[in-house]
Amino acid sequence: MPETGAYGPWVWLAAGILLCACESVAPGLFLLWIGLAALATGLTAFVVSTGFAWTLILFGLYAVAFLVIGRRVYGSRASLAESPFLNRRMDSLVGREYALDQAIEQGEGRIRINDTVWRCRGPELPAGTRVRVTGSEDGVLLRVEPAVPLS
């Protein structure tokens, strides 16, 4: 196996800087931890003279340690529970009540919710009737029922 030699620590430091720089170009928070492990390996190689095999083992240990620490730090930042309807806007409308913007005729009508007009499906109802959203279909259509049962 090759010895690390006098250039060994510099190679690790250069590789670490290169990997950290690649992380800024292609972010994904993975190259950063590997780059930090390479930097730590280079700094350790300056202090302790080891063979090539031990330097690789040390790099592997640093990489695992930095990945675990990184997962704990960045994995705990944002939870899906904080924003359960992220990218599922229609699901966030279920259970809410709105007035029909356009009458439901032949099973279909329209509801205006804020600045968006949604297609809806339900029983025949005139425009202005309060309806409750009960679900969605195909990502473009809301299922509705009268908010107050018809007598």
Q: pLDDT tens, 42-97?
A: 999 888 887 888 899 999 999 999 888 888 877 665 555 566 666 667 777 888 89
The architecture CATH gives domain 89-146 = Beta Barrel (2.40)
Q: What is the pLDDT of residue 1?
A: 38
Q: What is the pLDDT of residue 49?
A: 83
Span 92-108, average pLDDT: 88
Overall average pLDDT of the 8-29 stretch: 84
Give the pLDDT mean for 106-130: 89
Collapse the DSSP code of 17 into the 3-class scheme (helix H, G, I; strand E, B; otherwise coil) and give the result: helix
Give the tokens for residue 27: 């972010």
Q: Which amino acid is at 33?
A: W
**Token pair belonging to 109:** 């009508």
Distance CA 120, CA 136 (A): 9
Contact 110, 120 (CB under 8 A): yes
CA distance 64 to 28: 17
pTM of the model: 0.49
pLDDT value of position 43:
92
Q: What is the mean pLDDT of residues 26-46?
A: 86
Give the count of alpha carbons within 13 A of 28, CB side only: 7
pLDDT of the residue at 74: 74
Domain map (residue ranges) of the chain? 8-77, 89-146
